[in-house]
Structure 1
Amino acid sequence: MNLLGDAHLRTWTLRFVALLAADPQAQLAWLGERELETESVVEEVELLCRISEGLAERGAVEPENLRDLQAIGRCLAEAEAVCRVPLWANALVTDPVWDAIRPLARQFLLTTLGDWRQPLPRPLHPHTGDR
């Protein structure tokens, strides 16, 4: 068991789920001018679901929390053409799957941390070529 690695993955999961749980206005504010592709968000959710299974096996995620994350993954998997709107900012306001995911993400945070209202992750700045 890699405690440091598991702790980092658990923190990443909590931050990403906090973003999924946030109100649409907060999500859009977090996005700002970034053009994040819906497909990238879906891939992140799928990855976090797979990672969480390993975390649960190692005791870093409780089984009930894993069920909540798996429900998010199933919701995305069941949605037809979830990536039909290329930019996530546009999908947030037009695709009902994100409205269905929001309460699942909130339930995960409520079960895990006792409150779904969590700080959003720091936005990543787009690569500009400057260092």
Structure 2
Amino acid sequence: MRNPDAAFRRRLLVESLTVVAAGPSAQRAWIDGHGVVTDEIALDFDHAFRMVGGLSEDDGVSPTVLPDLRAIDAVFAGMSGAGNTHRWSMDALETDPGWGEARDLARRVLADMPGEWRLPMPENCVIR
């Protein structure tokens, strides 16, 4: 990677995707461990996704993952709004189809970024 800023933005993307891709129990533990609410998972992804625009293959982000990143963004946007607060509960991590779809898409993106899907969950992913 040529640009340290690109490395930082890529790391934020990978860490946010790692949380989105995690199973419901790991997500619940991450939420509890960071003292945040469920929608922080989507907010972290949103922050990282908004910063990814300038990344390229030279930075380790293939343009082929952009449709999946956009799809994750659309899933979370579709879960938002009046009357959808139930979709952001801890139980929804397990039962809501939107969470399952976002999880599958995030796993696909991470699979296209070999060697970058690091577990355990990231420690400092929450952007405030």
Same fold (TM over 0.5): yes
Q: Which residue is equivalent to 2:112?
A: 111
Give the AA of the match of 1:63: P
Counterpart contact for 1:38–1:85, Cα < 8 Å: no
The offset of 1:121, in angstroms, is 0.2
Is residue 2:17 matched to residue 1:17? yes
**Residue equivalent to 1:28:** 28
Preserved contact between residue 41 and residue 88 of structure 1 (Cα < 8 Å): no
| Change in 2 beyond 3 A, CA 1:54/1:105 | same
Partners of 2:120 and 2:92 lie apart in 1 by 22
Shift of 1:124: 7.2
Which deviates more, 24-33 or 2-11?
24-33
User: Which consecutive residues of structure 1, in runs of 5 or more, have no partner in the other structure?
Assistant: 126-131
Code of the residue aligned with 1:112 in structure 2: it is M
Label 1:8 to 1:123 Cα distance change in 2 as closer, same or farther (>3 A).
closer
Alignment of 1:1-131 (within 5 A): 3-32=3-32, 34-56=34-56, 59-60=58-59, 61-79=61-79, 81=81, 84-85=85-86, 89-113=90-114, 118-122=119-123
Per the normalisation by structure 2, the TM-score is: 0.74
Taking structure 1 as the reference length, the TM-score comes to 0.73
In structure 1, distance between residues paired with 2:76 and 2:10 = 21
- Higher gyration radius (CA): 1
Q: Which shifted more, 83-92 or 44-53?
A: 83-92
1:40-66 residue CA offsets vs partner (Å, 9 max, x unmatched)? 33332222222112224x842210122
**2:122 corresponds to which letter in structure 1?**
P
Q: For residues 62-82 of structure 1, give each alpha carbon's deviation from its aligned partner in whole angstroms, at most 9, with x where no partner exists.
A: 101222211211222233548
